[in-house]
Structure 1
Amino acid sequence: MRYSVTFLLSSLLLFSPSAIHADDSTRNPIALKLKKSVQKKIDKEFVHYSGYCDVVVYFNHTDKHAVVEKVNGTGDAKICRFAKQTIKVGSKFRYKVPERMIVIHISS
């Protein structure tokens, strides 16, 4: 009984929607806006190149604005470097629900 409960809880944690869903653009309007702009520029720059980057954007919150504090990325070095250059530190976005960080999946 004890092992079945442990297995059930661990499987729920491993296969929860938040663990599987790595891109915040479906539920966060700021992430969607950033993803659209970065993806458009990536598609123009890297026409015959394939790769991906998971971009993590960290924010500071002031009154009604989220200010980009730091941008990190994991994946293909060229795409991550270009995505980091595209998202400028200090950019301001209006938000409804504050989030400290968002994850965006960019591919070419």
Structure 2
Amino acid sequence: MKILSIIGVILLTLTSFGARSDDAETIPLAKKIKTQIELSLKESREEGYCDLFIEMTHKGSTAIVKRVSSTGDYKLCKTAKQTVRKGQRYRYQTVEKYIRLHIDR
């Protein structure tokens, strides 16, 4: 029984290293949006973090931002949400309904 618990702890530890911080590492559209947000935050001196959750609908080869929600520091998230507004259109390669971005400064 003790060996099974040790193996379980080892497996949980090894699988936790594969967690990604956001979708910009794997999705080109998410990387493009994150770059836009980082450029808009370049001027501000806000410190902290912001997790953005972007919901999109798809028509043809364009993705339309349906909703943007966030958690984190208010001023940083407000600036990020002003960059990605509802109704903005993006061209995409892979279909994704939700994109999660982590902005850290």
Question: Which TM-score band (shorter chain)?
Answer: 0.7 to 0.9
**Matched ranges for 1:67-106 at <5 A:** 67-106=64-103
Shift of 1:81: 1.1
Q: Which runs of 4+ in 1 moved over 6 A?
A: none
Pair 1:22-2:38 in alignment: no
Q: How many residues align?
A: 103
- Whichever residue aligns with residue 8 of structure 2, its letter is F
Shift of 1:33: 0.8
Unaligned runs of 5+ in 1: none
CA RMSD of aligned residues (A): 2.4
Unaligned runs of 5+ in 2: none
Q: Match of 1:7?
A: 8
**Matched ranges for 1:53-68 at <5 A:** 53-68=50-65
- Provide the identity percentage: 31
Q: Match of 1:31?
A: 30
Secondary structure of the corresponding residue to residue 45 of structure 1: coil
Secondary structure of the corresponding residue to residue 34 of structure 1: helix
Conserved in 2, the CA contact under 8 Å of 1:39 and 1:107? no
- Whichever residue aligns with residue 4 of structure 2, its letter is S
User: Taking structure 1 as the reference length, what is the TM-score of the superposition?
Assistant: 0.80
**Matched ranges for 1:42-53 at <5 A:** 42-46=41-45, 49-53=46-50
Distance 1:102 1:12 in 2: 26
Conserved in 2, the CA contact under 8 Å of 1:53 and 1:73? yes
Shift of 1:68: 0.4
Conserved in 1, the CA contact under 8 Å of 2:47 and 2:76? no
Shift of 1:14: 5.7
User: Taking structure 2 as the reference length, what is the TM-score of the superposition?
Assistant: 0.82
- Whichever residue aligns with residue 16 of structure 2, its letter is F
